[in-house]
C-alpha cells in the first residue's frame, strides 16, 4: 500500500493523473472521442514516431542521443521507393532497407562507442548525411507506385480494424519493456547511463553495449520509415523531416533524464498517450496544429522543471514539522 | 584568563525529524588549537555550519567576545572573524594565487594593481611560513597549496576563529606535517583554531584541548594531557574498540600469486618489481604523486603497462581491460567512490550485483531479483552495512557504509587478489576497524591484498610488508616488523634510496 502511494508520487504517477484528466476532458468535449475508431485513428497518425520513441528511451537512458532517427526513417522510406520503382521485389527491398538501418546505426555506434566522439555531434552529422542520401535517391519527385499488399498493410486493418503498425508497436513495447526493466541488458543500460566509469571498472563492455543500442535505434527507425511509406502510400525526399525532435520530446516528457541513468518505458508510454490524446482533444475543439505544438512545448518545459520542485514537500506540508 | 572569542551555549539543531545537535556548548579561547572529534554523523559538520552562519540553530545562543551575537549568514560570520577551510579547497582555478587570496576584498576599488596585490599576498604567505609564488595560477597548485591559499584568504580578513575541517585527509604525510605547523603558527598569533580530523595522532600532536561529540551530544572537553587514545576512542564510539590499529597476525604463505617484474608505463612509473604472496597484505606507501594509483590501475587493466611482465598465479598475463582482470579473479576497490566505485543514485543491491551481473541472470538474460535480494542481505549482515533496506540508493549512506557496499560488490566476485585504494579515507574509526578486519579475514581465507594507503599507522598495522614509491620509482620494500613511520617517510621523501 505504501509502495503504491510512493509510486503515485513519482513522475509516472503525475503523468497518469494528467492522462486521466485529459481523457476525461476529451470524452466530455466530444462523444466520438472514446469510440474505437477514433482511438485507433489517434495512434495511427503518429505511429512511426511513437515506435521510435521506444528505442530512443534506451538511447537517452544510456546518456546518449540519436538525432539521426528522422533522417534514417526518410532514408529507409526513400530507398524503398527507389528500389521498388527500379523493379526489385518489395519483399527483398524491405530486407535491404532494414539492413540499411542496421548499417546506419552501426556507423553511429562505431564513431560513438569505438572512436569516442560525442553522440550529439556524430548523429547530427548522420542526420544531414542520411537525409542527403534520401534526397539524392528520389530527387524531387514523389514515388507512389507500391505493390497493393504493401499499401494495404499500412492503410487497412490487419486483424479486424487494428492496423499492422499498432500491433508492431504493442509487441515492440512488451519486448523492450522486458529488456529494459527486467533483464541484465536493461540494468547495464541504466548503470552505463548513470556512470560509465563505474560500469567499465565493473567489467561491463560499455562500448559493445552502446553499439547494440545504436544499431537497434537504426533498425527500428528504418522499420518505422517503411511503416510510414506504407501508411501514406508515397515517399518524397522530406519524409519524416524533423521527426527526431518530436520523438525526443516524448521521451523527455516521459521522465527520462537527458543526463541519462533514469526514466522508464512506462513513462515513455504515458507520455505517448498524453501527447496523442492532447493533440486529438485539441483538434476536436478546433485548436490549430501550431497552438497544439506550442502546448506540447510548454509541457516539455514543465517536465524539465518539475523534478527540481520537491512535490512531496508541497503535499506533506500540513503534517510536517515546521522547524 | 583571557576572554573566549567564541562560545556556543546550549545549541540545538533539528532537521525535520532528526536532531543533528542537542544542547551543544563549546568555548573557544584565543591562541588554542581545539580539536573536535567524533564519528561520521556525530554532528561535527552541523556545528561548523552553525559557526559559519550556513545553518541557524533551532535553539541556543552564540557569544562572540562575550557578547551575544547572531550569525545570520556567511557574511555575518566573516564580519565576526570566523572562517573555515575544508578538505576540498574552494579556489578559482583560472585566477592566480594573489587574486584568489583577495577574492572578496573590495578595498582596492575598481582598479586592481596586480603588483600591489602580489606584494600583499606575499606578506601573508610569509606569515604562514611557506614558499608559494603569488603569481601562479590556482589550477596548477597541489591540494595542499590550494589549502594554504584558503588559509591566507582567511588571514587577509583578520580571522580570529579558523575552522579546519579534515584538512589533511587528502594530503601526503609531508604536506600534512606542514599544514599542522601552519595551524600551530596561527594559534601562536592568537587565532583560535578548530581542528577536525579522523587521524588521532595528529590531534595528539597539535591540539591543546579536545572535545568529543557523539550523536549530536557533547561528551567531553579535556586538556590534551588528560586524554589517552583509547579513552578518546571509547568516548567517540560509545563502546570499546579493542582492535583499532592492533598489529595483525601474519598469514602469508610461500605461494606467489602475483609476480611483477620491471613494470613500466612510460612517463608515469618505471621498473616496478615485487612479489605478492597468498595470505599477504602488501601496503603501498608514498606521498601524493608517488603514482601508486597508476600502478594499481595498470595491474587492473585500465591503463596497460608499456613494458615489463606480470605473472599471475604462475602464468604471464596481459590485462588489457578491467574485464579480463576481473575474470582472472582480481578486484580493484577505487579510492574515488563517486567517480569509479558506485552508481550513486542506484540501490544498494544493484551496486552489489554489478561486477558479477551474469550470476544474477536466467538463461534468457532476465534478472533474478530474489537472488539479488538474498545476496544483498547476506552482505549487509556480514559487513554490518547500516541502511533502511537493500533498495536504498547508496547516495543516502554514510561514507563508511558506501565503502562497505563497494567492498561487498567485489567480495561477491570471490576474488583471489584484492587491490584496495585508500580503503579508509574519510570514514570514521568504527568503520575503519571493520574494514581492516575484513581485509585481514580476506587474506586469512587464502586471498592476497594490495593496499594503497596514505595513512601510515594503518599501513604499519595492516601490512605484512610495505612497498614504498616516490614519483613513479620503487624506493624499497620494508618488513613491517622492523619498519617505523620514520623509516617509511625517509624512503617516501627520497632521503635515502635503499637497495631492493
Do B394 and B445 contact (CB within 8 A), yes or no? Answer: no
Per-residue pLDDT tens digits for B319-355 = 899 999 999 999 999 988 888 999 999 999 999 999 9
Residues with Cβ within 8 Å of B189's Cβ and at least 6 positions away in sequence, in order, are B31
Please identify which residue in the block is written with the cell numbers 550569525.
B71
Question: What's the pLDDT at B43?
Answer: 82
B470 burial (CB, 10 Å; 0-12 / 13-18 / 19+) is buried
Which residues 20-59 of B are in CB contact (within 8 Å) with A? 58
Please identify which residue in the block is written with the cell numbers 497544439.
A292
B239 burial (CB, 10 Å; 0-12 / 13-18 / 19+) is exposed
Phi then psi for residue A86, to 5 deg, are -75, -5
Least Cα distance to A66 among A228, A272, A215, A253 occurs for: A215
d(CA B428, CA B166) in angstroms, rounded, equals 12
| Cell (9 digits) for B396 | 543516502
d(CA B266, CA B273) in angstroms, rounded, equals 15
How far out from the chain centre does Cα A229 lie? 17
Residues with Cβ within 8 Å of A245's Cβ and at least 6 positions away in sequence, in order, are A70
Please give the residue range of the domain that contains residue A289: 15-21+35-306
Which residues 325-384 of B are in CB contact (within 8 Å) with A? 325-327, 332, 334, 339-346, 350, 354-355, 357-358, 360-361, 364-367
Question: What's the pLDDT at B172?
Answer: 73
Could you tell me what percent of chain B has a pLDDT over 70?
92
Is residue A316 pLDDT above 50, yes or no? no
Is residue A1 pLDDT above 60, yes or no? no
Is residue A123 pLDDT above 50, yes or no? yes
- Chain A residues in contact with B366 (beta carbon < 8 A): 178, 182-184
Cβ neighbours, 10 Å, residue B92: 13
The nearest CA of chain A is from the CA of B302 a distance in Å of 8
| Cell (9 digits) for B283 | 601496503
The nearest CA of chain A is from the CA of B214 a distance in Å of 23
| Cell (9 digits) for B16 | 525535520
Between residues B327 and A161, which one has the greater pLDDT? Answer: B327
In this prediction, residue B239 has a pLDDT band, given cuts at 50, 70 and 90, of low
**R_g of chain A computed on alpha carbons:** 21
Between residues A305 and B8, which one has the greater pLDDT? Answer: B8
In this prediction, residue B86 has a pLDDT band, given cuts at 50, 70 and 90, of confident
Fold equal for B6-237 and B256-492: yes
Average pLDDT estimate for B258-272: 92
**B354 closest CB neighbour out of A178, A191, A320:** A191
In this prediction, residue A322 has a pLDDT band, given cuts at 50, 70 and 90, of very low
| Cell (9 digits) for A146 | 507500391
**A191 closest CB neighbour out of B327, B341, B343:** B343
In this prediction, residue B247 has a pLDDT band, given cuts at 50, 70 and 90, of low
**Is residue A57, in this structure, part of any structural domain at all?**
yes
Question: What's the pLDDT at B178?
Answer: 85
Is residue A76 pLDDT above 90, yes or no? yes
Size of interface A-B (CB pairs under 8 A): 82
Question: What's the pLDDT at A273?
Answer: 93
d(CA B488, CA B333) in angstroms, rounded, equals 24
Question: What's the pLDDT at A318?
Answer: 40
Between residues A190 and A317, which one has the greater pLDDT? Answer: A190
In this prediction, residue B398 has a pLDDT band, given cuts at 50, 70 and 90, of confident
Question: What's the pLDDT at A300?
Answer: 82
Per-residue pLDDT tens digits for B138-182 = 888 887 888 888 888 888 888 899 999 888 776 777 788 888 888
* CATH code where residue A145 lies: 1.10.3470
Is residue A323 pLDDT above 50, yes or no? no
Q: Where are the beta strands (DSSP E) in chain A?
A: 157-159, 162-163
**Helix intervals (H) in B105-223:** 114-128, 143-156, 173-188, 200-206
CB contact under 8 A, B343 and A198: yes
Residues in chain A: 323
d(CA B156, CA B124) in angstroms, rounded, equals 7
Average pLDDT estimate for A224-251: 93
Q: What is the mean pLDDT of chain B?
A: 86
CB contact under 8 A, B322 and A201: yes
Q: How many domains does chain A divide into?
A: 1
Between residues B457 and B135, which one has the greater pLDDT? Answer: B135
Query: B208 to each of B31, B193, B211, B224, how far by Cα in Å?
Result: 9, 10, 10, 6
Per-residue pLDDT tens digits for A280-301 = 888 888 888 888 888 888 888 8
Question: What's the pLDDT at A51?
Answer: 97
**Is residue A137, in this structure, part of any structural domain at all?**
yes
**Is residue A252, in this structure, part of any structural domain at all?**
yes
Cβ neighbours, 10 Å, residue B305: 24
Between residues B139 and B12, which one has the greater pLDDT? Answer: B12
Cβ neighbours, 10 Å, residue A162: 15
Average pLDDT estimate for B445-451: 93
Which H or E run includes B257? strand B256-265
d(CA B153, CA B145) in angstroms, rounded, equals 12
Please identify which residue in the block is written with the cell numbers 591503463.
B303
Between residues A161 and A215, which one has the greater pLDDT? Answer: A215
- Chain A residues in contact with B16 (beta carbon < 8 A): 320-321, 323
Degrees to nearest 5, angle at CA B389 with B384 and B394: 80
Average pLDDT estimate for A208-236: 96
In this prediction, residue A319 has a pLDDT band, given cuts at 50, 70 and 90, of very low
CB contact under 8 A, A198 and B327: no
Average pLDDT estimate for A118-129: 97
Question: What's the pLDDT at B374?
Answer: 95
- Chain B residues in contact with A194 (beta carbon < 8 A): 343-346
- Best A202, A261, A262 member to test B by mutation, with max B CBs in 10 Å, is A202
| Cell (9 digits) for B181 | 605547523
DSSP conformation letters of A54-75? HHHHHHHHTT---TTHHHHHHH
- Chain B residues in contact with A204 (beta carbon < 8 A): 323, 354, 357
Degrees to nearest 5, angle at CA B271 with B269 and B272: 80
Max Cα-Cα span within chain B: 77
Average pLDDT estimate for B233-240: 70
Average pLDDT estimate for B289-298: 89
Whether B389 contacts chain A with CB within 8 A: no
Between residues B140 and B416, which one has the greater pLDDT? Answer: B416
Is residue B493 pLDDT above 80, yes or no? no
CB contact under 8 A, B14 and A323: yes
- Best B334, B343, B364 member to test A by mutation, with max A CBs in 10 Å, is B343
Question: What's the pLDDT at B290?
Answer: 81
DSSP conformation letters of A252-318? HHTT--TTSS---HHHHHHHHHHHHHHHHHHHHTT--HHHHHHHHHHHHHHHHHGGGS-HHHHHHGG
Least Cα distance to B417 among B269, B281, B307, B287 occurs for: B281
Is residue A182 pLDDT above 90, yes or no? yes
Which H or E run includes B158? none
Do A54 and A63 contact (CB within 8 A), yes or no? Answer: no
| Cell (9 digits) for B350 | 544493484
DSSP state of A138: H
Buried-state track A188-215, b at ≥16 Cβ within 10 A, e below 16: bbbbbbbbbbbbbbbbbbbbebbbbbbb
Spell out the CATH class of B6-237: alpha beta
- Chain A residues in contact with B364 (beta carbon < 8 A): 183
Strand pairing category for B256-265 and B269-277: antiparallel
From B98-112, B216-230, B237-251, the region with the lowest mean pLDDT: B237-251
Q: Where along chain B do its domains lie?
A: 6-237, 256-492
Could you tell me what percent of chain A has a pLDDT over 90?
64
Collect all residues from A whose CB is shorter than 8 A from any CB in B. 178, 182-188, 190-191, 194-195, 197-205, 261-262, 320-321, 323
Do B282 and B274 contact (CB within 8 A), yes or no? Answer: yes
d(CA A142, CA A131) in angstroms, rounded, equals 15
CB contact under 8 A, A194 and B343: yes
| Cell (9 digits) for A226 | 517503411
d(CA B492, CA A151) in angstroms, rounded, equals 78
Query: B479 to each of B7, B149, B236, B438, how far by Cα in Å?
Result: 48, 39, 32, 22
Question: What's the pLDDT at B249?
Answer: 67
Least Cα distance to B250 among B462, B466, B456, B459 occurs for: B462
Global ipTM: 0.83
The nearest CA of chain A is from the CA of B97 a distance in Å of 33
Is residue B490 pLDDT above 80, yes or no? no
**Is residue A30, in this structure, part of any structural domain at all?**
no
Domain at B256-492: CATH code: 3.40.50.300
CB contact under 8 A, A183 and B367: yes
Least Cα distance to B34 among B267, B213, B285, B288 occurs for: B213
In this prediction, residue A203 has a pLDDT band, given cuts at 50, 70 and 90, of very high
Phi then psi for residue B498, to 5 deg, are -95, 145
In this prediction, residue B395 has a pLDDT band, given cuts at 50, 70 and 90, of confident
DSSP lists the bridge partners of residue B467 as B284, B477
Whether B87 contacts chain A with CB within 8 A: no
Residues with Cβ within 8 Å of B472's Cβ and at least 6 positions away in sequence, in order, are B268, B269, B270, B290, B291, B294
Question: What's the pLDDT at B500?
Answer: 38
Least Cα distance to B246 among B469, B111, B437 occurs for: B437
Question: What's the pLDDT at B109?
Answer: 61
Query: A21 to each of A7, A160, A323, B235, B466, how far by Cα in Å?
Result: 18, 29, 36, 59, 68
Strand pairing category for B192-196 and B33-37: parallel
- Helical pair B399-411 and B429-444, crossing angle rounded to 10 deg: 10
**Is residue A320, in this structure, part of any structural domain at all?**
no
Amino acid at each position: 500500500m505504501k509502495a503504491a502511494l510512493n509510486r503515485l508520487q513519482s513522475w509516472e504517477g503525475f503523468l497518469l493523473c494528467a492522462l486521466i484528466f485529459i481523457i476525461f476532458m476529451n470524452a466530455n468535449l466530444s462523444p466520438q472521442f472514446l469510440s474505437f475508431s477514433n482511438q485507433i485513428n489517434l495512434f495511427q497518425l503518429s505511429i512511426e514516431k511513437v515506435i521510435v520513441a521506444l528505442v530512443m528511451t534506451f538511447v537517452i537512458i544510456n546518456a546518449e542521443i540519436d538525432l539521426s532517427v528522422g533522417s534514417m526513417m526518410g532514408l529507409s522510406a526513400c530507398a524503398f521507393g527507389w528500389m521498388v520503382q527500379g523493379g526489385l521485389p518489395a519483399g527483398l527491398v524491405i530486407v535491404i532497407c532494414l539492413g540499411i538501418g542496421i548499417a546506419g546505426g552501426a556507423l553511429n555506434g562505431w564513431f560513438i562507442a569505438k572512436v569516442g566522439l560525442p553522440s550529439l555531434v556524430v548523429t547530427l552529422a548522420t542526420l544531414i548525411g542520411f537525409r542527403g542520401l534520401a534526397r539524392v535517391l528520389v530527387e524531387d519527385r514523389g514515388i507512389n507506385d507500391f505493390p497493393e499488399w504493401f499499401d494495404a498493410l499500412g492503410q487497412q486493418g490487419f486483424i479486424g480494424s487494428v492496423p499492422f503498425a499498432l500491433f508492431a508497436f504493442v509487441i515492440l513495447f512488451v519486448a523492450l519493456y522486458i529488456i529494459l526493466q527486467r533483464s541484465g541488458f536493461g540494468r547495464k543500460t541504466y548503470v552505463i547511463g548513470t556512470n560509465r566509469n563505474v560500469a567499465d571498472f565493473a567489467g561491463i563492455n560499455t562500448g559493445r553495449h552502446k553499439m547494440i543500442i545504436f544499431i537497434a535505434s537504426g533498425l527500428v527507425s528504418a522499420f518505422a520509415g517503411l511503416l510510414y511509406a506504407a501508411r501514406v502510400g508515397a515517399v518524397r525526399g522530406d519524409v519524416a523531416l524533423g521527426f527526431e525532435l518530436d520523438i525526443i520530446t516524448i521521451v523527455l516528457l516521459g521522465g527520462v533524464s537527458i543526463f541519462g541513468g533514469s526514466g522508464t518505458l512506462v513513462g515513455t508510454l504515458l507520455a505517448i498517450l498524453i501527447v496523442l490524446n492532447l493533440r486529438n482533444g485539441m483538434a476536436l475543439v478546433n485548436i490549430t496544429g501550431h497552438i497544439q505544438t506550442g502546448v506540447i512545448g510548454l509541457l516539455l518545459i514543465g517536465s524539465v522543471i518539475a523534478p527540481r520542485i520537491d512535490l512531496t514537500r508541497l503535499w506533506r506540508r500540513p503534517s510536517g514539522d515546521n522547524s | 584568563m583571557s576572554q573566549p572569542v567564541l562560545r556556543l551555549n546550549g545549541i540545538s539543531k533539528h532537521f525535520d525529524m532528526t536532531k543533528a545537535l542537542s544542547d551543544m556548548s563549546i568555548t573557544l579561547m584565543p591562541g588554542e588549537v581545539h580539536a573536535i572529534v567524533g564519528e561520521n554523523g556525530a554532528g561535527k559538520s552541523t556545528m561548523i555550519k552553525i559557526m559559519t552562519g550556513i545553518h541557524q540553530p533551532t535553539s541556543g545562543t552564540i557569544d562572540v567576545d562575550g557578547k551575544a551575537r547572531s550569525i545570520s549568514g556567511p557574511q555575518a560570520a566573516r564580519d565576526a572573524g570566523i572562517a573555515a577551510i575544508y578538505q576540498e579547497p574552494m579556489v578559482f582555478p583560472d585566477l592566480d594565487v594573489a587574486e584568489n587570496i583577495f577574492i572578496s576584498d573590495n578595498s582596492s576599488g575598481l582598479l586592481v594593481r596586480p603588483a600591489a596585490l602580489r606584494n600583499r599576498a606575499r606578506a601573508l604567505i610569509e606569515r604562514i611560513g611557506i614558499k608559494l609564488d603569488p603569481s601562479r595560477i590556482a589550477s596548477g597548485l597541489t591540494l595542499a597549496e590550494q589549502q594554504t591559499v584558503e588559509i591566507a584568504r582567511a588571514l587577509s580578513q583578520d580571522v580570529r576563529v579558523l575552522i579546519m575541517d579534515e584538512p589533511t585527509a587528502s594530503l601526503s604525510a609531508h604536506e600534512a606535517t606542514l599544514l599542522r605547523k601552519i595551524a600551530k603558527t596561527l594559534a601562536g598569533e592568537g587565532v583560535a583554531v578548530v581542528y577536525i580530523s579522523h587521524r588521532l595522532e595528529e590531534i595528539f600532536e597539535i591540539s591543546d584541548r579536545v572535545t568529543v561529540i557523539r550523536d549530536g551530544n557533547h561528551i567531553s572537553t579535556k586538556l590534551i594531557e588528560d586524554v589517552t587514545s583509547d579513552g578518546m576512542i571509547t568516548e567517540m564510539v560509545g563502546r570499546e574498540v579493542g582492535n583499532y590499529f592492533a598489529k595483525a597476525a601474519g598469514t602469508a604463505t610461500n605461494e606467489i600469486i602475483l609476480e611483477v617484474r620491471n613494470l613500466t608505463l612510460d612517463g608515469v612509473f618505471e621498473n616496478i618489481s615485487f612479489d605478492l604472496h597468498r595470505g599477504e597484505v602488501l601496503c603501498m606507501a608514498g606521498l601524493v604523486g608517488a603514482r601508486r594509483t597508476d600502478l594499481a590501475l595498470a595491474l587492473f587493466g585500465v591503463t596497460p603497462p608499456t613494458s615489463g611482465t606480470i605473472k599471475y598465479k604462475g602464468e604471464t598475463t596481459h590485462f588489457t581491460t578491467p574485464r579480463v582482470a576481473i575474470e582472472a579473479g582480481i578486484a580493484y576497490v577505487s579510492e574515488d567512490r563517486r567517480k569509479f566505485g558506485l552508481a550513486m543514485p542506484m540501490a544498494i543491491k544493484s551496486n552489489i550485483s554489478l561486477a558479477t551481473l551474469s550470476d544474477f541472470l536466467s538463461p534468457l538474460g532476465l534478472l533474478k531479483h530474489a537472488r539479488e535480494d538474498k545476496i544483498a542481505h547476506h552482505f549487509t549482515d556480514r559487513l554490518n552495512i547500516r541502511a533502511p533496506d537493500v533498495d536504498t540508493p547508496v547516495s543516502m549512506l554514510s561514507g563508511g557504509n558506501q565503502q562497505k557496499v563497494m567492498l561487498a560488490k567485489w567480495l561477491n566476485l570471490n576474488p583471489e587478489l584484492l587491490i584496495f585504494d585508500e580503503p579508509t579515507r574519510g570514514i570514521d574509526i568504527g568503520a575503519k576497524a571493520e574494514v581492516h578486519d575484513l581485509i585481514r579475514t580476506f587474506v586469512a581465507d587464502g586471498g592476497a591484498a594490495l593496499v594503497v594507503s596514505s595513512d601510515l599507522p594503518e599501513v604499519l598495522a595492516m601490512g605484512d610488508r610495505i612497498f614504498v614509491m616516490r614519483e613513479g620509482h620503487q624506493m624499497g620494500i620494508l618488513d613491517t616488523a622492523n619498519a617505523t613511520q620514520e623509516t617509511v617517510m625517509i624512503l617516501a621523501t627520497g632521503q635515502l634510496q635503499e637497495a631492493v
